[in-house]
């Protein structure tokens, strides 16, 4: 994982859950919650978990007002872009409107070679069901953030009903996107309790559910 990893994706793509898992696994210094769009699945509700792991959480809400629906972005989110000794995960909200908030931080970056911008895809979400729709999503993200997507995350799933074939089907669609854009499938996500033995494209994330746990 690069020094800064930005995780983006359409609503319901699973990007927040993946962001948390990567942050914990890689013991990053900062976790920056930039999701000002979705008021339900918010990683800032996990502040105690991050504190226990020594990860500094930058919230996209006014401190002490967790349940507020206010599009607030802390200027502290720029710190990892300025201080190149820090590692960070950025959880970016939604597509156009959510991605736009990143621009104010990217403007301060000096080491772009150490930044990954990854697009999370679940082909069972209607907005990213085909290679064409995924390419459209990526075009929107790049236009709003002024950054190029550097890799893909295959998070094709049906929650507990997910089969190995579901993930393979998602992989095949993403291979087409990967070929067209000349970017890799960096991660494939598999629920931790699934005993799938097949080798998938990219590094495997054995997913624990933290963000959606209270809803299941």
Query: Where along the chain do its domains lie?
Result: 4-215
* pLDDT score, position 60: 64
Average pLDDT over residues 193-206: 95
* pLDDT score, position 93: 75
Q: How confident is the model over 104-121, as pLDDT tens digits?
A: 888 888 888 999 999 999
The mean pLDDT value of the chain amounts to: 88
Please report, to the nearest 10 degrees, the dihedral formed by the alpha carbons of residues 123, 164, 212, 215 taken in order: 100
Residue 40 confidence (pLDDT) above 70: no
Residue 132 confidence (pLDDT) above 70: yes
Residue 97 confidence (pLDDT) above 70: no
Q: What is the pTM of this model?
A: 0.90
Q: How confident is the model over 136-169, as pLDDT tens digits?
A: 999 999 998 889 999 999 999 999 999 999 999 9
* pLDDT score, position 139: 94
* pLDDT score, position 36: 62
Residue 7 confidence (pLDDT) above 90: yes
* 178 contacts: CB under 8 Å, gap ≥ 6: 152, 184, 185
User: Quick one: pLDDT band at residue 99, thresholds 50, 70, 90?
Assistant: confident
Q: What's the per-residue H, E or C state across 69-115?
A: CCCCCCHHHHHHHHCCCCCEEEEECCCHHHHHHHHHHHCCCCCHHHE
The class that CATH gives domain 4-215 is: alpha beta
């Amino acid at each position: 994982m690069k020094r800064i990893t930005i995780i983006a994706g359409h609503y319901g793509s699973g990007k927040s859950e993946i962001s948390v898992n990567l942050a914990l696994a890689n013991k990053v210094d900062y976790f920056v919650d930039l999701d000002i769009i979705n008021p339900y699945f918010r990683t800032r509700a996990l502040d105690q978990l991050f504190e226990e792991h020594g990860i500094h959480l930058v919230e996209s809400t006014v401190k002490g007002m967790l349940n507020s629906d206010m599009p607030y972005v802390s200027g502290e989110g720029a710190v990892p872009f300025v201080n190149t000794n820090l590692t960070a995960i950025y959880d970016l909200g939604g597509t156009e409107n959510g991605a736009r908030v990143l621009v104010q931080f990217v403007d301060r970056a000096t080491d772009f070679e150490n930044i990954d911008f990854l697009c999370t895809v679940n082909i069972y979400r209607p907005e990213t069901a085909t290679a064409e729709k995924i390419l459209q999503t990526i075009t929107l993200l790049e236009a709003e953030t002024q950054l190029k997507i550097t890799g893909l995350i295959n998070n094709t799933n049906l929650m507990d009903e997910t089969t190995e074939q579901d993930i393979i089907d998602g992989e095949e669609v993403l291979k087409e996107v990967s070929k067209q854009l000349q970017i890799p499938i960096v991660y494939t996500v598999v629920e931790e309790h699934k005993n799938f033995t097949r080798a998938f494209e990219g590094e495997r994330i054995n997913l624990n559910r933290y963000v959606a746990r209270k809803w299941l």
